[in-house]
Amino acid sequence: MQQSKEIYLEHEKIGFPKISEQDQADMLIWHNPEIINKLTPGFIAEFIPTEVAKKYISISKGTFREYFKVSGYIERLNENHKVFPKEDSQWVEKNGVSGYKLKVQERGGLVHIEFFDSYEE
C-alpha cells in the first residue's frame, strides 16, 4: 500500500497547484483521490493524505458551507442508514414541526444527538 510520504512527494514535485473551489469542497466532502490524480498523470494515489489535502485547501468556511449544502452528503448518510440501520453511522431526522436532530450511532447504540432549529444549520 502507498505511503502518505510517497503521495506527498509526488505532489510536491508539481508544486501543489491551485485547484478549483468545487474540487476543494469535493476533496473535503467525498475524499475522492481522483481529484488529485488528475494532477499527476502516471501516478495514481489510492487515498488523499491529510498533509496533501492541507496544501490544496484554501476555501473559506462560508464558501465550503454553500458547497456542502448542495452536495447531497446528508441525504446520502440518511439513505445509507436506512439500508444499514445497525452500522456505525450518522444521519439527520426531522424533530417535530420545524426542528432537526443529528444522530450518531456507534456499535449499535446512539452515542450523540444534536438538535438544530433548521435543516441549514
Phi, psi of 90 (to 5 degrees): -140, 150
60-87 in b/e burial notation, b at 16+ Cβ within 10 A? Answer: eeeebeebeeebeebeeeeeebeeeeee
Query: Which pLDDT tens digit goes with each residue over 1-10?
Result: 679 999 999 9
pLDDT value of position 31 = 93
CB 16 within 8 A of CB 51: no
pTM for the complete prediction? 0.75
The DSSP output letter for 2 is: -
